[in-house]
Amino acid sequence: MNTQPLGLLVMAYGTPHSLDEVLPYYTDIRHGRPPSDEQLADLIRRYEAIGGVSPLAEITRRQAEGLAELLNADGGRPVRLYQGMKHTTPFISDAVEKMQEDGITEAIAIVLAPHYSTMSIETYHKQVRETAARLGGPAFRYIRDWHMEPRFLDVLTSRVQEALARCSDPQNAMVVFSAHSLPARILEMNDPYVDQLRESGDEIAKRLNLPHYMYAWQSAGRTHEPWLGPDILDVLSELREQGYREVVSCSQGFVADHLEVLYDIDIEAQARARDLGLHLVRTRQMNDDPAFLAGLRDAVRRAERETELIAP
């Protein structure tokens, strides 16, 4: 067995660590274009509504460290952890540069999002490839997706089951699987994102024999082009009109408590549900649940065995 440490690059979207960082964070998301005063004020208002700062940075750290700990205890090749964020420090390029400085020659890259899209996961991988190519290393194995990882599905199933138990009439509750919306043009690009979301959602529905479930989108960007729909807020109104009284929201595209869950679901969607007279229950996020992290460990070890090592 190769005993040289395997670089483990754990990537995530990133989040401001304070309200002072919201402007540079938002500017980075907008490819260097600062937001308008109105846009900035709206985003700050959302962060203030969830307590002033998102817990995502701390949760991401615990997820990455927990994953590395499991990998270093399973008897396989030891790993050395690096974290790279897409829109905040430490940036992805910084992490790859640190790997090179540390003499890491082989690494595995995983994004803390289960489903692949050319407009999401691939953008992380592109930054890794470009930085590694500029530096002459390391060589990487890339994990494209892990939405059908058995242990991940086990935890997701238990989360939905737990949420249904909080309904007064679980058999007549609608389970809504949602994920972050993307520009609708991905439908013309043979992009697997939508199909993968249905694959994992359908598997959960099969395991639980759900009589009522559907798909919706959330957290669409504020741009002029159309985004994937229907939006979960519109779905809630439609479900009320159809006679539903209870809804379980499963944001399966997210694996941590952050703004898109704590505000978009817990505040915005809950307010809409109350206005409609609906009982809305949200599934708990994965965060650093050891059972979830064991699924990520399995995905890493499988990639180590089966995924091609790409030279810089």
Question: Could you please report the per-residue DSSP string of 61-103?
Answer: HHHHHHHHHHHTTSSS--EEEEEEESSSSSBHHHHHHHHHHTT
pLDDT surpassing 90 at residue 222: no
Point out the annotated binding site for Fe(2+). 180, 260
Q: How far apart are CA 29 and CA 151, in angstroms?
A: 32
> What Rg value do the Cα atoms of the chain yield, rounded?
20
Point out the annotated binding site for Fe-coproporphyrin III. 13, 30, 46-47, 54, 124
Residue with tokens 């994937």: 228
Check residue 231 and report its DSSP letter. B
The encoded tokens of residue 228 equal 């994937």
Banded model confidence at residue 223, pLDDT cuts 50, 70, 90: confident
- Tell me the torsion sign for CA atoms 248, 249, 251, 256: negative
The model carries a pTM of 0.96
Rounded to an integer, the average pLDDT of 72-78 is 97
Banded model confidence at residue 219, pLDDT cuts 50, 70, 90: very high
pLDDT surpassing 90 at residue 142: yes
- Tell me the torsion sign for CA atoms 86, 231, 253, 258: positive
Q: How far apart are CA 264 and CA 262, in angstroms?
A: 6
Point out the annotated binding site. 13, 30, 46-47, 54, 124, 180, 260
Rounded to an integer, the average pLDDT of 292-311 is 97
Q: What residue ranges define each of the domains in the chain, with the CATH number in brackets?
A: 6-146+289-306 (3.40.50.1400), 150-282 (3.40.50.1400)
Rounded to an integer, the average pLDDT of 128-154 is 98
What would the pLDDT profile of 275-291 be if each residue is shown by its tens digit?
A: 999 999 999 999 999 99
- Tell me the torsion sign for CA atoms 255, 257, 259, 263: positive
What would the pLDDT profile of 94-108 be if each residue is shown by its tens digit?
A: 999 999 999 999 999
pLDDT surpassing 70 at residue 17: yes
> What pLDDT is recorded for position 1?
59
Task: Encode burial over 189-221: b for 16+ CB neighbours within 10 A, e otherwise.
Answer: eebbbbebbeebbebbbeebebebbbbbbbbbe
